[in-house]
Amino acid sequence: MSLTNAMGLRKASCALGTAMIVLGTYLLVSGCAVTLRADPAVLGEVRSIGKVLGESETESFWNGTTEVDNKFVVDVGGANAQEALNKASDLLRKRKWIAAPQKDPQIVQMHSPIWKGAYLSIKLFDPLHVGMYPEAAIKAIKEKSIDPEVLVIVNVGQSE
């Protein structure tokens, strides 16, 4: 093989290698990233259980996956905190959500056989964590003199 042919082969090999790296990087950045987001109908089911005082959406990124979580502050019309928690979970059970075995009486975790991979948790509103709740909810509580102890927080996510 002549020196000219060898140099041409080396340049072609280098160009092919560079193209493969560029293509691999493109696929890694764009093709392999996954976003997990609950179906809008799931969010609609949560909104339907009571008066939504505020909602927010947060994104977290881990290992090539973006997880979108939705948080709702809801008034379900309970007379006290425990009644509100029970009422919220009962309303979701009527929509076919299934509660997981409870370890903590102040939180209910549920999944849906209808919406594959959708999950949620219901917990009592905690005034000590007011910074974690949507601003619209805090504003509504103050403006309408709503007792925060009768509110529930519903966090919704998607696992697959």
* C-beta of residue 146 within 8 angstroms of C-beta of residue 140: yes
* Of 66, 70, 34, nearest in space to 153 by CA: 70
- The answer to whether the beta carbons of residues 41 and 116 sit under 8 Å apart is no
Residue 15 neighbours by CB under 8 Å, 6+ apart: none
| pLDDT attached to residue 125 | 87
20-32: average pLDDT = 49
Position with higher pLDDT, 30 vs 124: 124
Mean pLDDT of the 34-63 span: 91
Q: What is the DSSP letter of 58?
A: E
pLDDT at 110 over 60: yes
Instruction: Output helix, strand, coil percentages for the chain, rounded to the nearest 5.
Output: 40, 30, 30
Give start and end residues of each alpha helix (H) in 27-152.
40-47, 81-93, 135-143
Backbone angles phi, psi at 157, to 5 degrees: -145, 175
Q: Alpha carbon 143 to chain centroid distance?
A: 28
Determine what percent of the chain is predicted with pLDDT higher than 90.
Answer: 49
Beta strand residue intervals within the chain, DSSP E: 34-36, 51-62, 65-75, 98-99, 107-111, 118-124, 151-158
pLDDT number for residue 32: 65
pLDDT of residue 31: 56
What band does 23 get if pLDDT is binned at 50, 70 and 90?
A: very low
What average pLDDT is seen over the chain? 82
Report residue 128's pLDDT band, with 50, 70 and 90 as the boundaries.
confident
Residue 11: which pLDDT band, with cuts at 50, 70 and 90? low
Between 6-15, 113-122, 123-132, the lowest mean confidence (pLDDT) is in 6-15
